[in-house]
Amino acid sequence: MGWPYDVVHMIEIGWRMSLKIKWKELPRDPNWGYENRQIIIIVPDILHRLRWAKGHTRTQFFYYHEFRDIHLNRNDIFSNQVGTVVFVLPEKEPFDAFSLATFMHPVDLWLVRGARVIFVNGPKSAN
């Protein structure tokens, strides 16, 4: 079918409009990048031996058995101080399809707050 209008003419109009607009540069925040950023490492419970790992003072480990263990009532892993989240995935894909929705909700919240979320493959099962 195609477009009912002349596409070249529409692009020329947009180009002329962009030349007339005065763009303002926003000043950058002087404290940008100097915040106290915390690192959260979310690990499946099968790797519970990591509890004895010595982390940095900004590093916090959180262990989960299922995705629903990571809920919003845990204020310490959803604070504004969180800068990086390392999410270690479980060894097997969960059987419950709804559990992926409970997995994506915290990830969405971290991304909205500006945290970097890094996904790591979990341990391989013997099967």
pLDDT of residue 31: 58
Give the chain's domain count.
1
Residue 96 lies in a domain: yes
Residue 34 has pLDDT above 60, yes or no: no
pLDDT of residue 18: 84
pLDDT of residue 79: 79
Cα torsion 31, 114, 85, 57 to 10°: value is: 20
107: CATH: 3.40.50.960
Range in 10-19, 53-62, 103-112 with the lowest mean pLDDT: 53-62
Residue 90 lies in a domain: yes
Q: Is residue 87 within 8 Å of 118, Cβ to Cβ?
A: yes
Residue 36 has pLDDT above 80, yes or no: no
Q: What is the pTM of this model?
A: 0.62
Residue 91 lies in a domain: yes
φ and ψ at residue 14, rounded to 5 degrees: -65, -40
Q: Which domain holds residue 84?
A: 38-120
Residue 15 lies in a domain: no
